[in-house]
Structure 1
């Protein structure tokens, strides 16, 4: 039976067409438990092999930048963790088995523990798999797992991708990316957007497509068309859009919509500025606090924030205070093992347990702001009640910060948007967390990808409630989740009352081009279509069809 056209979740807008090249299975069969005569020599072989793999992973992490650097750094840390290698060495000694089998057995034990821990730790399972496969390949004298190379540009198809694979995708050869598993907030999705590659995840059946088959991929709608009759529909990948797009941020009728960049470290700020971003809508400050046993000093923080502010003189930079906990544990702040970390002590809740840490960060932001010519806004993550917001505003103002806001990431904040906006200067909707909390679906679990789609009706209605409150009170409402990177959804968000969008810098040209050709009336009409749709697929389809009648869309 021929394979029909497929549909997944579009996570990186744009269209492209090309021949399929399939990534090999990420989970190969385990090696045979071969007996060895000299366990000591086999242990030495294991040590040498793990050393070579660690060195290569570290080299790749150091050479990378932006989100890719962060992800490769996490994989390098897994490779350098002595625990799993020591367990493999112990198996060699006790059972006198060859190193490849010992590595597999050891990795299986650690894999199960990471998966059981959930959250951030479960996401590290893919890193461990990648390291395991590379060590076994090195021990066996075969090529390590890697991307296919058919000799021509191709559409990469995979069951799933290890973060290290995605971080090193050659954007000049990979036309589009489609995976059978994964979700909208996975590393694969985030990096595809950063690289400017159209991508679809959670697309059942895609790995059954034979290599060489020509497919068209629409990273906005999630459609994968087998042997498209009209190849011109997929002929222009989004990343080839001209770089002369107007970034000032407004609709065709002059309605202001600020277009800002999400930034995870100071180096990202310079790249965002070079790509035309007008400012930063989300500065994730976790880069300063992670991978260390003690918090950064006041001076360290001032220097880092000042570097980001300096990239946007006269522009806006929105700083999010430390969002620790859940999938971002810190040894000096967050609790140990929590039964349900995503619903535990995270974000502002964690910072309230150490008021001195919060005060130091606020002091650093304020001092860096005084040294700059940047409009600095500050907001707190995981605000659940207006009382929490009022407490944070008072603390921030005591440090001299003028513009203080809150993240809308939990349904209670959206449901009480009027009360929340009465005590803050602005809000920013974090669609990734808002979606997972609205649908009680862990965004790190691939099997729940369909419930982590920002086009879901309940999520759009909560954003509408927040936008309506912003209009009534005359206060800004932004979106800084990955939803802001979808040009089609950007039209809907503006129609729901959103006044600024912050996304991966590489996505801004596509978002700016679409917004610049639409007016407020069209955005409102598209928002109404999305709200009335029964599911994300119907919402995307209805909005795309209506938008295509009025403007050129991505």
Structure 2
């Protein structure tokens, strides 16, 4: 039995399929005889990789679109290309030049830490693809699948995850990675059982049958028939839960909004066909990635109007541009930030490119007028009440009347009462909040215990924010990945959170868990978690306090 960190609650059994290894620079790679021709070949390799990634993005869905676009943008990065071509011009062999430059950037990203560290996997993916073109060998990644398969890799690149054939992928297992990485988020959105940080995963021989359980974070080698029976029963119960399309509420009738996270108009259309009460997070940065100039007001308005129409009047919460750090923009990102995760990102872009926000707010107002449907709008990375006031003033000046902000910076949680005096609602982004509270990089496997949403210190700030919402009589929701965990959902409701936004596939189990607890019972579950000394103890205490039928059904 191998163990790691699970993503979602899915499970599956199948034979191991190993990801093809990255091409290695030949030890006898020669200096280019024709440096200009070699430089042209390297440029063409970068162009081909970028074009292939863009083509993948065009055929992808959901979060995969943004990831593939961002990776394509990295393949087009001027600094990366320029440095490689300069080394080739100096007579260095092409793959050796590529490796040296990529290593420099990897070291830089690793030293910067934070969300920039998450781009290391993307950068290495670009390196591997370009190297394959230069060497004339197959592009590394997942081989063509012809039957059920558990994909095993050291660290699956987001571009590879996005391209997986869902007809055959039973589960994903990686030896590295993190539960909030791009790969993990895509796997969760596509309902692929995934376990990361699995020591010994690469020792699994191809063809070995394994049982992957994301709920418990385990990978069992050569499972017995009883495991398959247990997984089948869980699948049956999950299908049964999905038949309940009632509005989210506690057992004593306290409403809890159950919403979906989306990134594109296509996501909105799919979410509209499920039992969700609307959208709690529309990640609009997908519109901006992989562009050399910002989308126009007209382009944005058309997409926003399409999303509003798709949901047919249901609530839609639009997050304004959340760029910077791990989501750089060619036309806005600061090139010389030493620590982008703590720099000009999210709402802070008004300091350097105020026209981006003004155009976006105008486009949202246009969509509102065109459809007659009012969107909720919120800004990311708000740190102070003054920032909240300034954003609200700008949004309302455009005719947008329901205005809120994200709480993902500890300062915002600590001053939530003052911030709520300026806006109509708040929504907590628990991934970033946990990262900033615990001062821990999201992909550092050795720090995975610190980055957990179950850390009592993180729960303390969620509780403080929810309490401020109750006192102000204003909504305080959660739109981080933690909202899709049924056990955590009960805790969040007990803390006073009014809505939960997640991947639409997570909604049935969350609806069931919340509906089996009165608000008072949920408060007791939350109190048990808050009283713990560690993240592990907090979750165990919450599970012990759950209603028995919920714990049994969820396998918690």
Residue 234 (str. 1) matches residue 231 (str. 2): yes
For the 8 Å contact 1:415–1:465, the answer to whether it is kept is: yes
Q: How does 1:8-47 map to 2 (within 5 A)?
A: 8-25=4-21, 29-35=24-30, 38-39=33-34, 46=42
Q: Distance in 2 between matches of 1:215 and 1:540?
A: 27
**1:119-198 pair list within 5 angstroms:** 121-147=116-142, 152-198=147-193
Report the 3-state secondary structure (helix = DSSP H, G, I; strand = E; otherwise coil) of the residue aligned with 2:323. Answer: coil
Which secondary structure state, in structure 1, belongs to the residue aligned with residue 57 of structure 2? helix
Q: Distance in 1 between matches of 2:75 and 2:334?
A: 25
Flag the 1:260–1:143 CA change in 2: closer, same or farther, 3 A: same
Corresponding residue for residue 259 of structure 1: 258
1:108 counterpart residue number: 103
Per the alignment, in what secondary structure is the counterpart of residue 197 of structure 1? coil
**Helix, strand or coil: the match of 2:199?**
coil
Partner Cα distance (1:136, 1:331) in 2: 24
1:305 counterpart = 2:304? yes
Distance in 1, Cα, partners of 2:527 & 2:108:
46
Query: Aligned partners of 2:11 and 2:113: how far apart in 1?
Result: 34
Query: Contact 2:72/2:290 (CA < 8 Å) preserved in 1?
Result: no
Other-structure match for 1:346: 345
What's the counterpart of residue 404 of structure 1?
A: 403
CA distance in 2, matches of 1:519, 1:36: 72
Q: Decide whether aligned partners of structure 1 residues 491 and 343 sit closer, same or farther in structure 2, where only a CA change above 3 A counts.
A: same
1:543 lines up with 2:542 in the alignment: yes
Deviations 1:341-376 (A, max 9, x none): 222233223225555543443333233223324342
CA shift in 2, pair 1:540/1:492, >3 Å? same
On the 8 A contact 2:261/2:502 being kept in 1, the answer is yes
Q: Cα 1:179–1:529, aligned 2, differ >3 Å: closer, same or farther?
A: farther
Query: Are 2:225 and 1:203 equivalent residues in the alignment?
Result: no
Q: Aligned partners of 1:89 and 1:398: how far apart in 2?
A: 49
Stretch moving more, 475-484 or 516-525: 516-525
Structure 1 218/348 Cα, relative in aligned 2: closer, same or farther at 3 Å? same
User: Which stretch of structure 1 is more off in the superposition, 14-23 or 58-67?
Assistant: 14-23
Distance 1:336 1:145 in 2: 30
Q: Distance in 2 between matches of 1:183 and 1:135?
A: 25
Q: Is the 8 A contact 1:382 1:408 kept in 2?
A: yes
SS in 1 for 2:244: coil
1:527 aligns with 2:502: no
- Rounded to whole Å, the distance in 2 between the matches of 1:274 and 1:497 is 28
In structure 2, relative to structure 1, the CA distance for the partners of 1:400 and 1:245 (3 Å cut) is: same
Aligned 8 A contact 2:429 2:478 in 1: yes
Query: Which residue does 1:491 correspond to in 2?
Result: 490
| Alignment partner, residue 61 of structure 2 | 65
Deviates more, 1:401-410 or 1:110-119: 110-119
Structure 1 492/10 Cα, relative in aligned 2: closer, same or farther at 3 Å?
farther
**Does the aligned pair in 2 maintain the 1:178–1:206 contact within 8 Å?**
yes
CA positional deviation for 1:495 = 1.6
- Aligned residue for 1:267, secondary structure, equals helix
TM superposition shift of 1:436: 0.8
Match of 2:212 in 1: 217
Give the equivalent residue in structure 2 for 1:56. 52
CA contact (8 A) 1:246 1:513 kept: no
**Structure 2: distance between partners of 1:76 and 1:358:** 25
The alpha-carbon deviation at position 324 of structure 1 amounts to 3.1
Alignment partners' CA distance in 2, 1:81 and 1:344 = 20
1:460 counterpart residue number: 459
- TM-superposition CA deviations, 1:20-52 (whole Å, max 9, x none): 4443555x6542133368436666665665555
Partner Cα separation in structure 1 for residue 8 and residue 386 of structure 2: 37
Kindly provide the CA deviation profile for residues 465-498 of structure 1, in whole angstroms up to 9, marking residues without a partner as x: 2222223332211001111122222122112111
Q: How far does residue 262 in structure 1 lie from its aligned partner after superposition? A: 1.4
Distance 1:76 1:88 in 2: 17
Q: For residue 324 of structure 1, what is the aligned residue in structure 2?
A: 323
C-alpha contact 2:114 2:440 (8 A) present in aligned 1: no
Measure the CA separation in 2 of the matches of 1:147 and 1:46.
Answer: 24
The structural deviation recorded for 1:502 is: 0.9
How many angstroms does 1:382 deviate by? Answer: 1.8
Rounded to whole Å, the distance in 1 between the matches of 2:39 and 2:335 is 34
- Deviation (angstroms), 1:177: 2.0
Question: Offset at 1:464?
Answer: 1.5
TM-score by length of 1: 0.87
SS of the residue aligned with 1:400?
A: coil
User: What secondary structure does 2:549 align onto?
Assistant: coil
For residues 139 and 345 of structure 1, the distance between their equivalents in structure 2, rounded to whole angstroms, comes to 36
Q: Report the secondary structure of 1:550's partner residue.
A: helix
Within 5 Å, give how 1:368-407 maps onto structure 2. 368-407=367-406
Whole-angstrom distance in 1 between the partners of 2:92 and 2:422: 67
- Secondary structure in 2 matching 1:371: helix
Following superposition, the deviation at residue 85 of structure 1 comes to 5.5
The TM-score normalised by the length of structure 2 is 0.87
Give the whole-Å Cα distance in 2 for the aligned partners of 1:307 and 1:370.
Answer: 13
Q: Which residue of 1 aligns with 2:554?
A: 553
Distance 1:264 1:247, change over 3 A: farther
Q: Secondary structure at the match of 1:235?
A: helix
- When residues 50 and 295 of structure 1 are mapped into structure 2, their CA distance, relative to the original with a 3 A threshold, is closer
| Aligned mates of 1:352, 1:288 — CA distance in 2 | 21
Alpha-carbon distance, 1:162 to partner: 1.0
**3-state SS of 1:124 partner:** helix
Q: 1: CA distance between counterparts of 2:479 and 2:32?
A: 58
Q: Which runs of 5+ in 1 are unaligned?
A: none
Kept after mapping to 2: 8 A contact 1:216/1:228: yes
Task: State whether structure 2 residue 6 is matched by structure 1 residue 7.
Answer: no
- Structure 1 residues 154 and 329: alpha-carbon distance in aligned structure 2, compared to 1, 3 A threshold: closer
Distance 1:296-1:7 versus aligned 2 partners, 3 A rule: same
